[in-house]
Amino acid sequence: NAEGRHARDVEATMKANEWQKEHESYELKWAGERDAEEYKKQLARERRESLNLRNAEGRRIRDNEHEMKRNDMNKEHESYELKWAGERDAEEYKKQLALERRESLALRNAEGVRIRYLEAQMKANDFHNEHESYELKWAGERDADEYKKQLARERRESFELRNAEGRHARD
């Protein structure tokens, strides 16, 4: 009996060892499955993180491209604004030059009219002075002729008087 007990104890110990080994095997299997599941979760997490990083990087790149495109559009718009402002300034400058040219021409025309008027006045004054000079000359000549006639008349009268006196004295 002791032998039977010993055999049962050995058998129970072997069974217990077998169960223990089987249990350890299951434990290892389950640990492996848990590790595999954790590894899969880790890979999925890393994949999500990688996707998030790539999405964030893609978003950052798109945002940068959008910002650069917007800056380019703003620069282009500013360039057009400057071009249009320059064209407006050039047009205003041309208008200002045309106005100044017209004003200059008007001033030159007015100055020309004033000069021609002064020249005409001076010519009229010269003509008037020349005419007065001729009038004075002619009046002087007439006065000289009158004076000569008067002297001739006085001389004739003096001759007549002396003649008459001489006749009177002879008679």
Structure tokens at 150: 């008067």
Q: In Å, how far are 1, 60, 96 from 52, measured between CA atoms?
A: 72, 12, 63
User: HSE-up of 131 (CA within 13 Å, CB side)?
Assistant: 6
Per-residue model confidence (pLDDT) at position 68: 97
Per-residue model confidence (pLDDT) at position 113: 96
Q: Please give the torsion angle defined by the CA atoms of residues 51, 53, 59 and 61, in that order, rounded to the nearest 10 degrees.
A: -120
**Can you tell me the distance from the alpha carbon of 55 to that of 43, in angstroms, rounded to the nearest whole number?**
17
Mean pLDDT of 44-49: 95
**Can you tell me the distance from the alpha carbon of 27 to that of 30, in angstroms, rounded to the nearest whole number?**
5
pLDDT in tens, 91-140: 999 999 999 999 999 999 999 999 999 999 999 999 999 999 999 999 99
**Can you tell me the distance from the alpha carbon of 79 to that of 72, in angstroms, rounded to the nearest whole number?**
10
Indicate the range of 1-10, 48-57, 69-78, 123-132 predicted with least confidence.
1-10
pLDDT in tens, 65-105: 999 999 999 999 999 999 999 999 999 999 999 999 999 99
For the chain, the average pLDDT equals 93
User: HSE-up of 125 (CA within 13 Å, CB side)?
Assistant: 6
The more confidently predicted of residues 25 and 2 is: 25
Per-residue model confidence (pLDDT) at position 9: 86
Per-residue model confidence (pLDDT) at position 86: 97
Per-residue model confidence (pLDDT) at position 3: 85
**Can you tell me the distance from the alpha carbon of 82 to that of 120, in angstroms, rounded to the nearest whole number?**
55
Statement: residue 166 has pLDDT above 90: no
Per-residue model confidence (pLDDT) at position 17: 87
Enumerate long-range contacts of 34-42, CB under 8 Å, 24 or more apart. Answer: none
DSSP assignment letter at 171? -
Structure tokens at 153: 């008349």
